[in-house]
Structure 1
Amino acid sequence: MSVSLWSALQATAAQVEKLVSELPEPGSRLPEEQLEVAAAKDAARELRMRFLETRAEAVYDRLTNGGTERLRIAELVEAAAVEFPGLMPTAEQLAADRARRQADKEGYEIDQGIFLRAVLGAPRAGAHLLDTMLRPTPRALGLLPEFLRTGVLETKSVRVERRDGAAYLTMCRDDCLNAEDNQQVDDMETAVDLVLLDPQVKVCVLRGGTMTHPRYRGRRVFSAGINLKSLHAGDISLVGFLLQRELGYIHKLVRGIRTEDAPWHSRTVEKPWVAAVETFAIGGGTQLLLAFDHIIAASDAYLSLPAAREGIVPGAGNFRLGRYTGPRVSRQVILQGRRIRATEPDARLLIDEVVEPEEIDAAVAGAVDRLRGPAVVPNRRMLNLAEEPVDDFRRYMAEFALQQALRLYGEDVISKVGRFVEEVRPTCLVRS
């Protein structure tokens, strides 16, 4: 470890902490105070980047006892804050920021993004962390015996029912059109873990539930993407939402779940996934579809990824979308907010079947029957290996960790989200 660089980082971090303690709360600072603290934070972040460029593997080894301990990303950043003071924000600093609106935060998550960029970018440490994130969560393991017995799971965000060898997951956040927040990410990962661990399940289906929102009452909606109301309130976290979502349940859709008792011929347990899209799949909803094996859409549905308009990076959407649509369409969708309606020609690049709304149930049943075959899983594994090499995904997520952290605190994002929430209050986020 470079003693001089580490000492300089600790001293600079201490100066930042002292300055912050002497200034008013972030939302009450004068322009010159904002500039002063931003310059101090930038100096510390430059040193963090330089330190981690060469020491990420060593830091990770120390935190995981040479890779013998499995720490999920939330546990990893907590351990780093304790073991390496100055490298990461403390638990107290993060708690103070969680109590603030997004516009009024100090932005400590940017330092987590710097750290996770370095760890994921380091080949050995990054591969170990990805493998750790493919393992079942403690919550899922605790619920597994009851789920195996009943085949039913009820959470705030997701309902699961096992029927005739298939698991049917229904996103049921009718209060906000299945817009995702930390709670939904946690519930979705629990549900995905359980159906992958259940040996009776051969095929998995995801669908949106029936809504009570006045504009969509009585209709099924797949997903309205990220919950912008929660983002405005400061309740969308880098680690607990944006990274856990991509490295947790969505990556498990692609790679399967890693278990200690997996058969000798496979490190993971995988299953085919079917999605049924009704009304719309906006933002994160469309990102989610890119991990599925078969997609059915109602003829009146549409897909969109309005990331540039919102100012954020659409998860692994930039990584996966062009593989399906080619670079021109992916730029139109991500950079210019183009909607793709289920009935237009380009929709065939993303959707396998387009049916009338009343035919969705029959289409789902047909897809489930077709994907039950014993050769489906090994072939999907080989397809995913060819289309999405693990190292490519790891490198993408390394850069995503930092870029998304920076975007969370971009002035344009905070301004847009604030205006949006004012326009749709008190309901939750429907993009026009």
Structure 2
Amino acid sequence: MAYQNLISEVKENILYITINREKALNALNKDTLAELADVIEYAGKTDEVRGVILTGAGEKAFVAGADIKEFSDYNGKQGEELAKQGHKLVFNAIENSPKPFIAAINGFALGGGLELAMACHIRIASDNAKLGLPEVTLGLIPGYGGTQRLTQLVGKGKAIEMITTASMVSAEDAEKIGLVNYVVPQTDLIGRAEEILNVIKMRAPLAVAAAIKSVIASITETDGYVVEIEQFGKCFETEDFKEGVRAFVEKRKAVFKGK
């Protein structure tokens, strides 16, 4: 897959996506968001992809925000449409993907960059990372799910503090408050993400997708238990379930095919 603002490749069933705008600290402009939308869709529908690692180019930034110049003269209606399309095509698309997305946060994750990381299912930060939502310093609020996902991850009080003060937190503090799963040296960042996905790759792909959908339903649906029950039932219809049971009885490792 050839993109202007992304580097993407699949190796051993892992899709590696690197936002490649290092000179702009990997800021999200319209073209980058469009390319992200395309590669997210590819990940979801491609059986070869079992998981995704999303990171930024260089050692300074994961994504240092959105390209403010592109929407500096927008009116209210245009602003709403910007947020709506971003939610649909990128941020919600990541969260609702059947494939696990890991954000490998290799530096600054600010504004839309932190929102992008929070849309991912798992977050790992390098020890030099700084995370924050500085939108109120521009007279805005987070518009790509930041007010919602930050609250879900760290709680109402901490979310309001971070958003209204526009303060950054260190990687260490981000781990303490539940904003990231792990903090590692930058040299170990991709390796740690690969370790997690290599474990997930051993599990039944349809069950992994069902689990992600059910967990997300706890936040997005009125009654997530209904989704869980439905997904639980569907698992019984899969070949992977039958293989998993046989492997358990035969005391061997299961060989799942995602069917």
TM-score (norm 1): 0.48
Could you tell me how far apart the structure 1 residues matched to 2:133 and 2:22 are? 21
Could you tell me how far apart the structure 2 residues matched to 1:309 and 1:242 are? 18
Bigger strand fraction:
2
Match status 1:364 vs 2:193: yes
Residue 233 of structure 1: CA displacement?
A: 6.5
Residue 239 of structure 1: CA displacement?
A: 6.6
Which of 123, 129, 133 pairs up with 1:295? 123
Could you tell me how far apart the structure 2 residues matched to 1:345 and 1:254 are? 20
Q: CA 1:369/1:390 → structure 2, altered by over 3 Å: closer, same or farther?
A: farther
Residue 306 of structure 1: CA displacement?
A: 1.0
Q: Are the aligned partners of 1:298 and 1:355 in contact in 2 as well (CA < 8 Å)? A: yes
Q: Which amino acid aligns with 1:300?
A: N
State the partner residue of 1:64.
Answer: none
Could you tell me how far apart the structure 2 residues matched to 1:345 and 1:181 are? 26
Q: CA 1:197/1:390 → structure 2, altered by over 3 Å: closer, same or farther?
A: farther
Kindly tell me the number of residue pairs found equivalent between the two proteins.
Answer: 219
Runs of 4+ in 1 over 6 A off after TM superposition: none
Structure 2 residues not aligned, in runs of 5+: 224-259
Question: What is the SS of the residue equivalent to 1:321?
Answer: helix
Residue 179 of structure 1: CA displacement?
A: 1.0
Question: What is the SS of the residue equivalent to 1:344?
Answer: helix
Could you tell me how far apart the structure 1 residues matched to 2:174 and 2:52 are? 27
Q: CA 1:347/1:282 → structure 2, altered by over 3 Å: closer, same or farther?
A: farther
Residue 390 of structure 1: CA displacement?
A: 7.8
Question: What is the SS of the residue equivalent to 1:175?
Answer: helix
State the partner residue of 2:152.
Answer: 323
State the partner residue of 1:286.
Answer: 114
Q: CA 1:176/1:390 → structure 2, altered by over 3 Å: closer, same or farther?
A: farther
Residue 229 of structure 1: CA displacement?
A: 2.8
Output aligned runs, 1:85-234, within 5 Å: 153-210=1-58, 219-232=59-72
Bigger helix fraction:
1
Could you tell me how far apart the structure 2 residues matched to 1:385 and 1:253 are? 14
Which of 87, 90, 106 pairs up with 1:249? 90
CA RMSD of aligned residues (A): 2.4
Which of 363, 384, 393 pairs up with 2:216? 384
Q: Which amino acid aligns with 1:160?
A: S
Could you tell me how far apart the structure 1 residues matched to 2:115 and 2:146 are? 5
Structure 1 residues not aligned, in runs of 5+: 1-152, 211-218, 257-269, 392-432
Q: Are the aligned partners of 1:158 and 1:191 in contact in 2 as well (CA < 8 Å)? A: no
Identity percentage of aligned residues: 22
Question: What is the SS of the residue equivalent to 1:253?
Answer: helix
Q: Are the aligned partners of 1:156 and 1:173 in contact in 2 as well (CA < 8 Å)? A: no
Q: Are the aligned partners of 1:250 and 1:288 in contact in 2 as well (CA < 8 Å)? A: yes
Q: Deviations over 1:175-201 (max 9, x none)?
A: 311111211111110111112121110
Could you tell me how far apart the structure 2 residues matched to 1:157 and 1:233 are? 24
Q: Deviations over 1:222-264 (max 9, x none)?
A: 1011112333376xx53774321111121111223xxxxxxxx
Residue 371 of structure 1: CA displacement?
A: 2.3
Residue 202 of structure 1: CA displacement?
A: 0.7
Larger radius of gyration: 1
